[in-house]
A and B are shown apart, each in its own frame.
Chain A
Amino acid sequence: MTNGVPRRLAQAVVVLWAAFTLSFVILYLLPGDAVLAKLGGGEGGSTVTAADVARERAALGLDDPVVVQYGKRLVAAAQGDFGRSIATGEDATTLVLNALPSTLSITGLGLLFAVVFGGAIAILGTYTRSRLLSQFLASLPPLGNSLPPFWVGLMLIQVFSFDLGLVPALGSDGFSSLVLPAVTLALPTGAIIGQVLAKSLRTQLDEPYVEVVLAKGAGRARVHFGHVLRNAALPALTLVGVLAGNLLAGSVITESVFSRDGIGRVTASAVSAQDIPVVQAVIVLAALFFVVLNLVVDLLYPVLDPRLAGRVTAKAVSGV
Chain B
Amino acid sequence: MSALLEIRDLVVSYHTRSGVVPAVRGADLAVAPGEIVAVVGESGSGKSTTAHAAIGLLPRGGRVESGSITFAGRDLTGLSDKQWQQVRGSDIALVPQDPTVSLDPVRRVGEQVAEVLLVHRLVPRRAAAAEAVRLLRTAGITEPERRARQYPHELSGGLRQRVLIAIALAGRPRLIIADEPTSALDVTVQREILDHLEGLAAESGTAVLLITHDLGIAADRAARVVVMSQGEVVETGSTREILTAPAHAYTRELLAAAPSLSREPLRARLDAGPDVLLAVNGVSKSFDGRTRVVDDVSFTLTRGRTLALVGESGSGKTTTARMVVGLETPTDGTVTFDGNDITTLGREELRLLRRRFQLVYQNPYASLNPRFTIEEVITEPLRAFGVGSPAERRTRAAELLDQVALPSSMLARKPAELSGGQRQRAAIARALALHPDLLVCDEPVSALDVSVQAQILRLLVRLQEELGLTYLFITHDLAVVREIADHIAVMRDGSVVEHGPADTVLTTPNAQYTKDLLAAIPGAVAPDPIR
Chain A interface residues (CB < 8 Å from chain B): 206-209, 211-220, 222, 226-227, 230-231, 234, 304-307
Contacts and interface: CB of A to CB of B under 8 A. Distances in A.
A230 B116 CA distance: 19
Contacts of A212: 94, 96, 102-103, 164, 167
Closest 5 A/B residue pairs (Cβ): A217-B89, A215-B94, A217-B88, A306-B151, A216-B89
Given A209-B102, A212-B96, A307-B151, A218 B85 contact: yes
A215 B55 CA distance: 7
Interface stretch (B71-79, B104-112, B233-241, B426-434): B104-112
Interface in B97-143: 97-98, 101-107, 115-116, 119-120
Contacts of B101: 207-209
A231 B94 contact: no
Interface string B66-98: 000000000000000110011111100110111
14 contacts: A208-B102, A209-B103, A212-B94, A213-B115, A214-B88, A215-B93, A216-B119, A216-B170, A217-B86, A217-B87, A217-B119, A218-B119, A219-B82, A219-B85
B57 A307 contact: no
A211 B55 CA distance: 10
A216 B167 contact: yes
A117 B330 CA distance: 56
A304 B151 CA distance: 13
Contacts of A206: 60
B171 interface: yes
Contacts of A207: 101
Nearest to A212: B102
A190 B55 CA distance: 39
B106 A217 contact: no
B322 interface: no
Contacts of B98: 208
Interface of B: 55, 57, 60, 81-82, 85-90, 93-94, 96-98, 101-107, 115-116, 119-120, 151, 153, 164, 167-168, 170-171
Given A212-B96, A217-B86, A307-B151, 7 more contacts: A213-B104, A215-B57, A216-B167, A218-B119, A231-B104, A231-B105, A306-B106
Contacts of A234: 106
B11 to A, nearest CB: 22
A213 B106 CA distance: 13
Given A208-B98, A217-B86, A307-B153, A222 B106 contact: no
A303 B89 CA distance: 31
Given A217-B171, A307-B153, A211 B116 contact: no
A227 B111 CA distance: 11
A203 B89 CA distance: 24
B88 A211 contact: no
Contact of B115 (A216, A220, A230): A216
Contact of A216 (B60, B107, B153, B171): B171
A208 B88 contact: no
Residue of B94, B96, B115, B170 with most chain A CB atoms under a 10 A cut-off: B115
A208 B97 contact: yes
Contacts of B120: 217
A305 B107 CA distance: 9
A234 B105 CA distance: 12
Nearest to A215: B94
Nearest to A231: B106
A305 B106 contact: yes
B80 to A, nearest CB: 12
A310 to B, nearest CB: 10
Contacts of B57: 211, 214-215
A80 B298 CA distance: 65
B164 to A, nearest CB: 7
A117 to B, nearest CB: 25
A231 B106 CA distance: 7
Contact of B89 (A215, A230, A304): A215
A227 B93 CA distance: 19
Nearest to B94: A215
B148 to A, nearest CB: 14
A251 B164 CA distance: 51
Contacts of B86: 217
B288 to A, nearest CB: 15
A217 B90 contact: yes
Contacts of A219: 81-82, 85
Nearest to A227: B104
A306 B115 contact: no
A269 B152 CA distance: 55
B198 to A, nearest CB: 20
Residue of A217, A220, A227 with most chain B CB atoms under a 10 A cut-off: A217
A92 B25 CA distance: 76
A160 to B, nearest CB: 41
A78 to B, nearest CB: 38
A233 to B, nearest CB: 10
B108 to A, nearest CB: 8
Nearest to A304: B106
B102 A217 contact: no
A219 B90 CA distance: 14
A214 B93 CA distance: 10
A145 to B, nearest CB: 25
Nearest to B117: A216
Contacts of A220: 81
A306 B153 contact: yes
Contacts of B93: 215-216
Contact of B104 (A209, A215, A217, A304): A209
A211 B168 CA distance: 12
B153 A215 contact: no
Contacts of A218: 85, 89, 115, 119
Nearest to B164: A212
Residue of B81, B101, B102, B153 with most chain A CB atoms under a 10 A cut-off: B102
B213 to A, nearest CB: 18
A217 B60 CA distance: 18
A207 B97 CA distance: 12
Contact of B94 (A211, A226, A304): A211
Contact of B96 (A211, A230, A304, A306): A211
A234 B107 CA distance: 13
